[in-house]
């Protein structure tokens, strides 16, 4: 077993602690530590299975941003970006540091966010749980010994997950949970929640603020590339559970990354070194690459194990619908390492429509691309956030609203610029419901969704015959290989066409209510739904 570096080593941002700090430990050591400390147990497939307690998803209502003069005017303040004073930030950081210093052992990981060496941030994560450190090591890009010797982090995450505040209002918080971030100090402080995804998404939030200043468009998307054509890169935008990870894990297309990327003047690059996939109802038949990636070194969250065999029960939602797994990106066979690619030929927006009225696939004009990107329609799926128990229709700007510090139009303008510069094709793909809304209709079969993706990426769909459907004014194909024609026309899948018309009008009206909140051109606004 690789021996961990027990030294605390000098660093900036206050990452030194008086307690024992195990730094840049091996997978084996962190797994051993997690099991010894009762944080998790080995599944039959070799993955470490851990529970996150009462929070099995992100806690967006408990996230705050330090409000300072230096960043105030560049932030889109509101429900997502809620301010916390510098005084409260400092007080909570002091409390979190004291808590961490009181622990017998801490775990530290030093790694990178950004596979392109021209655009990457040094990240240090300090945790009180071994499995949280393993999570960080799985998802961020590893540094080597020479880099660690002179490590000076750009960002620091202090995860004091077991600190429960009995007086949260004294720190400017609404509950005992706090995820607070400072864009000026480059720090993240986490208290009161064991959900590991908070670490990942906080650094994505940091990249969404820092990268535009480096001429990089930050994106909440997955990316892959054709095995026989390095110029055939595809992006998949969408919120958690809409299919980013599933659709990008394609045995015929090497994976660049599954969740967070940048698009620079040189092409696209993965922010991360790993994947964070939903695994509810995971099967070897449906998602073989993800299934095979779950092995020693990966982390299962809130997955039920059989008491006798230790075999994961991926069908169980006993703890949450939002069961998760992390694994290094190179656990996917043939993954692109380093995780960089050319400018994308196709850009796909994934919308899990809980209304059941959007067509399964549509070709978007430039103005429609801007419209559907800025609105970011999808459904929050069960468990991805605290309190979400069933699919809920939702507009998330740029398919990543919870992670955007800057106004959405900043990112929408970046999209328009990049697709124009590189003549990228843009598509809307509905991975949600058909034949009725959630609770009445059925979710689109994965085999049909994969057929649409195949037709997009091999270029055949762009050559198909298209017609305009009336409810949203979207251009839809008249035929796609491997898909019944009826599936292409959402109205025909409903037993009651009048009910479809009413529901489509309802969703169109919601689009119009939402687009009224943005300052967009008349051309872009007119590219929205024609009904409602």
What is the model's pLDDT at position 306? 97
Give the right CATH number for 20-38+59-194 from 1.20.1330.10, 3.30.70.2190, 3.40.449.10, 1.10.10.10: 3.40.449.10
Q: Which has the closest alpha carbon to 156: 178, 136, 130?
A: 136
390 pLDDT tier (thresholds 50, 70, 90): low
As a whole number, mean pLDDT of residues 64-81 equals 97
User: What local confidence, expressed as pLDDT, does residue 72 receive?
Assistant: 98
Sign of CA dihedral 28, 256, 279, 369: positive
Q: Does the pLDDT at position 11 exceed 60? A: no
Q: Residue 15's closest CA among 158, 159, 202? A: 158
**pLDDT the model gives residue 239:** 83
Using CB atoms within 10 A of its CB, is residue 79 exposed (0-12), middle (13-18) or buried (19+)?
Answer: exposed
**What would the two tokens of residue 411 be?**
């990112």
Q: Above 90 in pLDDT, residue 2?
A: no
Mark 206-228 as b/e (b = at least 16 C-beta within 10 Å). bbbbbbbeeebbbbbbbbbbbee
First to last CA, the chain: 63
CB 242 within 8 A of CB 278: no
- How is residue 367 written in tokens? 């103005």
Q: Is the pLDDT of residue 462 over 80?
A: yes
Instruction: Provide mean pLDDT across the span 57-81.
Output: 96
- Bridge partners (DSSP) of residue 325 are 277, 300
> What pLDDT is attached to residue 386?
60
170 has pLDDT over 60: yes
What pLDDT was estimated at residue 3? 41
Per-residue tokens: 148: 């660690």
Orientation of helix 197-210 relative to helix 130-139, angle to 10° = 40
Q: Where are the domains of the chain?
A: 20-38+59-194, 217-273+339-525, 277-331
Q: What is the pLDDT of residue 383?
A: 55
Instruction: Tell me the per-residue pLDDT of 309-365, one tens digit each, with 9 for 90 and over.
Output: 999 999 999 999 999 999 999 999 999 999 999 999 999 999 999 899 999 999 999
pLDDT at 490 over 70: yes
CATH topology of domain 217-273+339-525: Phosphoenolpyruvate Carboxykinase; domain 3 (3.90.228)
pLDDT band at 384 (very low <50, low <70, confident <90, very high): low
Instruction: Identify the CATH class of 277-331.
Output: mainly beta
Query: Which region holds residue 157: left if phi is over 0, alpha if psi is between -120 and 50, else beta?
Result: beta
Residues forming the active site: 58, 201, 220, 240, 244-245, 259, 324
The candidate with the shortest Cα–Cα distance to 324, out of 297, 353, 294, is 294
Residue 8's pLDDT band, with cuts at 50, 70 and 90, is very low
Average pLDDT over residues 70-77: 97
Rounded average pLDDT over 57-82 = 96
Q: Is the CB of residue 99 less than 8 Å from the CB of residue 117? A: no
**Can 217-273+339-525 and 277-331 be said to share one CATH topology?**
no
């Amino acid at each position: 077993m690789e021996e961990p570096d027990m030294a605390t080593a000098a660093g900036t941002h206050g990452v030194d602690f008086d307690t024992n700090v195990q730094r840049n430990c091996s997978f084996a050591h962190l797994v051993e530590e997690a099991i010894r400390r009762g944080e998790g147990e080995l599944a039959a497939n070799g993955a470490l299975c851990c529970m996150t307690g009462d929070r099995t998803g992100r806690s967006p209502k408990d996230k705050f941003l330090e409000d300072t003069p230096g960043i105030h005017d560049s932030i889109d303040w509101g429900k997502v970006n809620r301010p916390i004073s510098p005084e409260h930030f400092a007080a909570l950081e002091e409390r979190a540091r004291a808590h961490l210093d009181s622990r017998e052992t801490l775990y530290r990981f030093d790694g990178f966010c950004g596979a392109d060496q021209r655009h990457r941030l040094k990240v240090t994560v300090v945790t009180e749980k071994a499995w949280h450190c393993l999570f960080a090591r799985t998802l961020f890009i590893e540094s080597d010994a020479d880099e660690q010797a002179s490590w000076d982090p750009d960002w620091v995450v202090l995860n004091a997950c077991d600190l429960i505040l009995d007086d949260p209002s004294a720190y400017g918080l609404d509950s005992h949970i706090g995820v607070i971030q400072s864009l000026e100090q480059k720090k993240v402080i986490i208290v009161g929640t064991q959900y590991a995804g908070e670490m990942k998404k906080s650094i994505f939030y940091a990249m969404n603020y820092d990268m535009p200043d480096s001429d990089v468009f930050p994106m909440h998307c997955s990316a892959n590339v054709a095995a026989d054509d390095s110029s055939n890169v595809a992006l998949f935008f969408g919120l958690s559970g809409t299919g980013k990870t599933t659709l990008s894990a394609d045995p015929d297309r090497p994976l660049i990354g599954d969740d967070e990327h940048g698009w620079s003047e040189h092409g696209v690059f993965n922010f991360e070194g790993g994947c964070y996939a939903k695994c509810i109802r995971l099967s070897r038949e449906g998602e073989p690459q993800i299934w095979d990636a779950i092995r020693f070194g990966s982390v299962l969250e809130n997955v039920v194990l059989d008491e006798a065999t230790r075999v994961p029960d991926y069908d169980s939602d006993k703890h949450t619908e939002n069961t998760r797994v992390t694994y290094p990106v190179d656990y996917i066979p043939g993954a692109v390492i380093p995780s960089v690619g050319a400018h994308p030929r196709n850009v796909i927006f994934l919308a899990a429509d809980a209304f059941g009225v959007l067509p399964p696939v549509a070709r978007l004009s430039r103005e429609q691309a801007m419209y559907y990107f800025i609105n970011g329609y999808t459904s929050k799926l069960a468990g991805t956030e605290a309190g979400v128990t069933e699919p809920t229709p939702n507009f998330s700007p740029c398919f990543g609203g919870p992670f955007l510090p800057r106004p959405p139009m900043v990112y929408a303008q970046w999209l328009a610029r990049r697709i124009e510069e590189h003549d990228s094709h843009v598509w809307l793909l509905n991975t949600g419901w058909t034949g009725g809304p959630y609770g009445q209709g059925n979710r689109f079969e994965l085999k049909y969704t994969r057929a649409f993706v195949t037709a997009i990426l091999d270029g055949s769909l762009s050559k198909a015959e298209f017609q305009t459907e009336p409810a949203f004014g979207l251009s839809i194909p008249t035929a796609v290989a491997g898909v019944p024609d009826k599936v292409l026309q959402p109205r025909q899948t409903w037993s009651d066409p009048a009910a479809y018309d009413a529901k489509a009008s309802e969703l169109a009206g919601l689009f119009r209510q939402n687009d009224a909140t943005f300052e967009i051109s008349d051309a872009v606004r007119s590219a929205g739904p024609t009904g409602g």
